[in-house]
Amino acid sequence: MSTVVKTKNQTIKRSDKRRKEKAPKKPIWQKLRQVFSLHPKSDPLITLCIILLTLCGTIMIVSTNVGETTTNSNVVLITLIRQTMYLIASFLCMWFANRMFRFKWIARWENAIVLISFVAMLVPLLFTGSGGSYAWIRLPGGVTIQPAEFAKPVLIVICATSLYRAHQNPQMTQKWQILFRKPMICYFLLMVGILLQRDIGTGAIISTIFFACLIIPTYPGMARFQKVLKRIVMISIVAFVILFWVTDLGISILEQTPFSHIATRIANAKNPYNDVYGQGYQPANALYGIASSGFFGKGIGGSMRKYGYLTQADNDYIFAVIMEETGIFGLILLCILYGLLLYRLFFYAFKTQEMAYKVILGGTGTYLFIHFFLNVGGVSGLIPSTGVPLLFISSGGSSLMACFLTMGIAQQCISQIRLKEMTNHAHRSW
């Protein structure tokens, strides 16, 4: 009997070997696709929205740079090459975060990440500023790096990591001072760097993201602190409206400080036509472009404002060019794509019970929304211009890479949520 069993086992092993030998080898492109694709359980709708937004952004960046062909005939080709390099680097950031991100690694190097982020925020002070801010590291060849863009995903991850550690040590959840001690330190260090850079727009975004990360956890030890925090935010909003919108008292005060450029932007938001040939030149021309758009716009490439009227047509004011060329139809398309992104992020944030995942997804959703709100609101004159880019759309490697990095982390969390859901479903079925 033993001999028969042995013979059967040998026969099975030989048949397995033959199957492996007969199995066709995968082409190289399939192997590369398998290696460089996102996690199989990542949300496909989010990935599709990212691709479509990035495609729209690339088309509009090339279109806006056509306005510079009067002085440089090669500007379109150079822009396309530069944007392609940014996209490749950004995809690698998203892929790396999606495949490699682990909370235990972040928890181990948390202090070093915070310290490096703070030092990086101080480096731009050694270089010349632009528009009243000192937020860029200027390298040879016209290459610039904006460290503050990477501070946004760093703050989200640091907040979520504190909740990851609290999951292992539940005593941390009894007091918010202990739970969010490191995120508080990270936030204040980043804000010191931002204030030194005089980049109020980025400061508003980071503060909003941090506020969302503090509000999301539902631990009893944080309930009272969250109520107080909400009241402080509401009082601050009311005070801002009274000081800067109802009256000009806040503008008069800011004009006497190093942040006088912020006072100018607030005044332009209230009425850009007071100084239409001075500081209100770009805001006024942005409104001219939006007003002349119609429903379908003038067509891709048909904008007139990109020919010298908007000096930042491919960056801060790209929304004005989008509206002029694609009209209300383009605005609706942008709102649908951003809306789907936000819907899927918050869908998984409400679905999971893991607080760390909730903060990652909720913080990412807040990050996308506040950028959209500040950019579109500033360009359309509804709120003061903050100089923040329209994510996935505006030119700039730093914002694009930081955004893709954040989405890679979010997709990694989503894949873990979906895997856990499959496991629980399998146990219930069994």
Summarize pLDDT for 172-217 with one digit per residue, the tens. Answer: 888 888 888 999 999 999 999 999 998 888 899 999 999 999 999 9
Report yes or no on 32 lying in a domain.
Answer: no
Say if residues 21 and 385 touch (Cβ distance below 8 Å): no
Q: What is the DSSP letter of 414?
A: H
> How many Å apart are CA 355 and CA 163, to the nearest integer?
6
Going from the C-alpha of 60 to that of each of 170, 250, 316, 318, 394, the distances in angstroms are 49, 37, 13, 8, 8
Taking a C-beta distance cutoff of 8 angstroms, is the pair 48, 285 a contact? no
Closest CA to 367 of 202, 205, 230: 205
Q: Answer yes or no: is 266 within a domain.
A: yes
Indicate whether 310 belongs to any domain.
yes
Does 423 reside within a domain? no
- pLDDT category of residue 1 using cuts at 50, 70 and 90: very low
How far is the CA of 121 from the CAs of 189, 396, 406, in angstroms?
Answer: 9, 18, 19
Cβ atoms 297, 325 nearer than 8 A = yes
CB atoms within 10 A of CB 169: 10
Q: If pLDDT is split at 50, 70 and 90, which confidence band does 346 have?
A: very high
Q: Which residue has the tokens 């330190």?
A: 185
Mean pLDDT of 54-76: 79
Q: How many CA atoms lie within 13 A of 182 on its CB side?
A: 25
Give the pLDDT confidence score for residue 156 in this predicted structure.
96
Range of the domain at 196: 46-418
Whether residue 304 lies inside any domain: the answer is yes
Helix, strand, coil tally for the chain in percent (to 5): 75, 0, 25
Q: Based on the number of CB atoms within 10 Å of its own CB, is 10 exposed (0-12), middle (13-18) or buried (19 or more)?
A: exposed
Higher pLDDT, 122 or 273: 122
Residue 238 lies in a domain: yes
Could you give the CA distance from residue 258 to residue 266 in angstroms, rounded to a whole number?
A: 15
Taking CA atoms, 404 is separated from 28, 51, 285, 304, in Å, by: 26, 11, 31, 31
In a domain, 426, yes or no: no
Q: What is the tally of structural domains in the chain?
A: 1
pLDDT per residue as tens digits for the range 79-116 = 888 889 999 999 999 999 998 899 989 989 999 999 99
Rg (CA), the chain: 25
Sequence letter at residue 69 = T
Mean pLDDT for 350-361 is 92
Per the structure block, which two tokens stand in for 59?
Answer: 């088309």
The answer to whether position 247 is within a domain reads: yes
- Return phi, psi of residue 146, to 5°: -115, 95
